[in-house]
Structure 1
Amino acid sequence: MNLYIITAFPPDLALFFTVSSFGSGLYAEGLHIILFVVSRKPNESMRLIVTTFVGVVFGFLIGLAFPTFSLTKFNLSTNILSAIDFKYAEYTKSGPSFSAYVPLPVGNNGSSTNVTSNKIWVPSNPRGAERLPPGIVRAESDLYLRRLWGNPSEDLTSMPRYLVTFTVGYDQRKNIDAAVKKFSGNFTILLFHYDGRTTEWDEFEWSKQAIHVSVRRQTKWWYAKRFLHPDIVAPYDYIFIWDEDLGVEHFNAEEYIKLVRKHGLEISQPGLEPNKGLTWQMTKRRGDREVHKETEEKPGWCSDPHVPPCAAFVEIMAPVFSRDAWRCVWHMIQNDLVHGWGLDFALRKCVEPAHEKIGVVDSQWIVHQSVPSLGNQGESEDGKPPWKGVRERCRREWSLFQARFSAAEKAYFNSINSTSG
């Protein structure tokens, strides 16, 4: 409630008071009381001043006691009311909201189109981000380390182009130290710790700049599925996903990358020393060439010379993937089949032609030391040693993966045939 009192005193002295009531959250919106008091005698003037003061207090109390109401509906057509600009309409009028229509630039024909500013829907955005303006969407991430201070644009002094991961236990630290030193500053180093020991690795200077992920008793394919999403490792041209028991005396990572590029390999591995830890002929190192892409196996093992294990095949101990190949392989990895057995036979599904784009680099070779460290992370059941339970799980996963892939392909082709029929 607003109370206006205008009291005129001789010689034409005027006082103007305004009282607004906001008591108890109530506001007598638009209620204005205007008193005009004209006095020619001092005694009358004094009485009127006292009376006016009492009226002010009384009006203030009324404003507290009554709910919000307005006198704007009444026709107060006086010259004084019209002279005072309350801007009431401007106060109560709803201004443009965030959802107001925003005019687009006028076209050649003089017309314009309106769009609703909060009705963004961009189907080409990544799933779940359709409501965002494309300019703010960052669909990919990276593993580059950032500072907690300074200008973000000045954080990175270098941007590694390749990623190498090792799944490790602390007992293999010396072997990993030797392996990491074979990778230049062009590589981001990522260690997956299956034994929960991470801080001890700071005895190596390179470890202080590496990325450490620690989850007990998991395999590298479990880690890869959860921490190497294609949109996270997208900045890297090649991704190495290696075991911890590899001898690297005859290996140089930069030279390896050069050969992979030269021979157009999307999925590859270094050749294996033939005298130790060898399972397949395809991955056996050849001493007379840089790269090979096919081999001869035991009679009956290959129904076609262009399919595994005679071609389009590398083992899962030390694979190297191009960015595009990894995007496909990541989607093929099953959440519950953590050992990856059988995966090497299916890698060919991710590149075409597989027998040309999958191969073994012979001139940069490694030794598989066959340390059963992960097998010892299992638990003994029915009197069996831990490693036996792990090995049985591996074989079971191989059968499950083959069955799932076969069923998925069959379902796909059936759906295609039913649609075309």
Structure 2
Amino acid sequence: MGGTIRTVFNLAGHLAMEHDVEIVSVVREREEPFFPVPPGVRIRYLDDRLPRRKGLLSRFPTRLVPKEEAAYHWFTLRTDLKLIRYIRGRRRGVLIGTRPGLNLIMSLVAPPEIITIAQEHGNLSGHGPELRKRIARRYGRLDAVVTLTQTDLQAYERALKTRPRLLAQVPNAVTRLTGGRSPLTEKTVIAVGRLTHTKGYDLLIRAWAHVAARYPDWTLRIFGDGPRREKLQASIDKRELTGKVLLMGSVPDVGGELAQSSIYVLSSRREGLPMVILEAMSKGLPVVSYDCPTGPAELITHGHDGLLVKPEKIHAMADAICTLIEDEELRRTLGANALEKAARYDLEVIGARWEELLHGLCREEAATQTDQGPAGEYARARDEAAR
């Protein structure tokens, strides 16, 4: 139910209006996805674990995915074989990987006639040193690497030992949510995301203790689930913030919740390009965010549509929130500008950039295959199919 899944569904749904699109899920552990599947998009599961009978190969760890990959625990020897069989079985089209482990496997086993694209949904510096070494060695075998931010694009330009055919930056598109524009009248601050160490909610709760001392009638609502829920609740209780900081759990569509809030806050220690900032902006919310690597500084213009705070600074975060609580005029000005900023990341705008990127790769590949002679007829047919 994370941000990567939302962006994958967004892009798949847009591309499915003109192309044949399939989402390939490595594992399946629930009957239906958390988010609704976009119209026209198929989902294929390689390792269906619903029957709870995983088989002998599932007892052995993956040999292809590095231990530093955040999703390492999902992969087994069984998923290795399923992935190899699926990827090697492709004979045409474009294959997009959505995390380092999958991208590295693509770089090893994808047939040459498949166009391979690695998406970076986080940032290069957020990966462990051994994983970064493998990325530097192998990503050059792929046709394209696409980052979310210019900062991360530059990091990849410096790191890759050999360049893929295309190294580009395309941001995420903002999700179209239910609910209207926020009137910015509710005494509510909102945060949305998985309850993990990376999201920094421990820092936010400590900051809110200072906010609550000055403005006890305001409430912080945190939406999301995750492994740190009990620790965060203990921190809330310890600081006597019960009723002032609420862990709300997860909701499929946060649009209505954003529309009933007046300030959005992001307390992450690191990010890729946090789509939730754009979602908040699309509701006219001003955003207070740590200036963590990477993403917030590329979305927020400090003092224009939000406020940026030095990373992990408790008092600075509390002061920035209090500034927007105190100054309603500033809150409304930043919110109006945020609404304009979000429009630049509309799905139609970002989708057009992906279409241009894909068509460019297909044309270039077709030209290469034509030059090679025997494969020319196949390349022309694939180019025609892409069009």
* Same fold at TM > 0.5: no
Between Structure 1 and Structure 2, which shows a larger proportion of helix residues? 2
* TM-score of the aligned structures, taking structure 2 as reference length: 0.24
Higher RCO, 1 or 2 (CA under 8 Å, sep at least 6)? Answer: 2
* TM-score of the aligned structures, taking structure 1 as reference length: 0.23
| Pair member with larger Rg | 1
